[in-house]
Structure 1
């Protein structure tokens, strides 16, 4: 991990939202380099692609933009390098009015980069080089929190160091949303404060491992039930085109997906998380927030790109199918 230098905000474009902050996202920001290919090449194979695009990304930044597009006032806490890629990485957040006053510039690490291959089938494969994201420290979170910068619903993911995630969870004054993606070994207290913990099935199994629990049976519902039994306040397990499972002390419920023809699924999970956080911040119940998030994420796969595909505020969203996940 690079040794962090003294942070400087001078080269970071500022955009301060007006009024109180609904959602604070602590996480990663990247410059995405996306290649479209007919299929992934085999080992040792050279394959001709059809396009190459550089655009903003990073799970934290994606979720922050999604929350903003879903109607929330958003602050983003992250780190970029002192390089040209930083401007690209922050461009959509800046233009959408996300508060970037807590984004730090590192002199000794480049802005994070994600290398993305999108197949004609709309499926994708991603390699992330974290860069400055690795230098976001617990002490950075403390400085922002001490200044009152952790406000509203706090959203965390796994593309910054585990100790940074842990400190942000500890300092979050209100509701905490944790998306354990990618899976990192966070302390147990992070998961026990998550309301909800948003995971896919693989991530749910890994979260259960961290908690020291075991499912009582097989399948998604068993994992969700075991997470609740281990003390997680609420759980949302995303199931792609089959929708999602919502679990809390009142039981488990299925939420359908929207039936759409996907063009590019990159960033759809982040769209879901950000949209859900925005609805929770505005007082929606968990089921309603998840239903809206499913529609928002469906809208995000209808065009190519990550942040560029996220629906604008007030846009018409796909409707949910009658059938989807089952519990």
Structure 2
């Protein structure tokens, strides 16, 4: 087993982003400002974050046989990501995300899954040896749940450390949670998993303990500018986040998860790995876009945060 090898299984999207003063409510039309397209998708973002932060990463995903899919595959290769298991779907288009970003840097996202929704367990047969030989498996929930369950169970049986970013928010069964070593919900996801309203650090601690009690060894609740709450075997620790001027929070959670996986693959303990991840996410929110916002390892060395 290569303890430094990280396998990311997840989605690839093309993000279409509009900057505007505020996110419209139902029935409201808002005249926005700048528009741009940026490669995204939670899986792809996390794979790029791992690569830029110095990790050894294999990405498993499915894209359409279209211009977005071809662009994504080319960009992954330019980032130094192993793309042998990025599959092309002959029927479905590549995934697309429509993103609105307001003046405070908050965002609203609608995703058309496209080929991501066609990434099924049978598609992963050729990649199973790579997963079994890895040190860490990192996944999210923008692909079919049956695929998430299948891969998590397989990795757990092979002794691979499983990190699950439960985004977008969804209910998770005990059979999946039993396969997960580390789960990384944000506030909304922690609420769904715990049944506890999360609006500050105290409620996040309660939610983290409740999720831990469901059988997950380590829970990391990400709290944006408040940092992260760790519950490890029932013990609570708060890791503060660097204070920055937020421009766009798109992909901040993905950067956090990619950075967490890299730090753990380098032998850091959970608190130090979460500290590293908070720094990476803080850099990302100071920039527009998803993959365009992901920092490189040398930015830490340069003391940018």
1:183 CA displacement: 2.4
Residue 207 of structure 2 aligns to a residue whose secondary structure is: helix
CA distance in 2, matches of 1:261, 1:80: 34
CA contact (8 A) 1:156 1:179 kept: yes
Q: 2:149 aligns with which of 155, 160, 166?
A: 166
Task: Tell me how far 1:49 sits from its aligned partner.
Answer: 1.5
Equivalent in 156, 159, 170 of residue 184 of structure 1:
170
Partner of 1:9: none
How far apart are residue 125 of structure 1 and its match?
Answer: 0.5
Which residue does the alignment assign to 1:84? 67
Counterpart for residue 303 of structure 1: 287
Give the CA deviation at 1:168. Answer: 0.8
Distance in 1 of aligned mates of 2:165 and 2:19: 27
Runs of 4+ in structure 1 over 6 Å off: none
1:197-212 alignment, distance < 5 Å = 197-208=183-194
Rate the CA distance shift 1:289–1:21 in 2: closer, same or farther, 3 A: closer
Displacement of 1:90 in angstroms is 3.5
> How does 1:215-234 map onto structure 2 within 5 Å?
219-234=203-218
> What TM-score, normalized to structure 2?
0.91
Aligned to 1:255: 239
Taking the aligned partners of 1:113 and 1:183, their CA distance within structure 2 comes to: 18
1:117 aligns with 2:103: no
Aligned to 1:62: 45
For structure 2, list consecutive stretches of 5 or more residues without a partner in the other structure.
Answer: none
| Cα shift at 1:151 | 1.8
Query: Given the alignment of the two structures, is residue 145 of structure 1 paired with residue 128 of structure 2, yes or no?
Result: yes
Counterpart position of 2:12: 29
Q: What RMSD, in angstroms, separates the aligned Cα atoms of the two structures?
A: 2.2
Q: Which moved more, 1:272-281 or 1:177-186?
A: 177-186
TM-score (norm 1): 0.85
Q: Which runs of 5+ in 1 are unaligned?
A: 1-18, 320-327
Local SS of the residue matching 2:58: strand
Q: Is the 8 A contact 1:162 1:184 kept in 2?
A: no
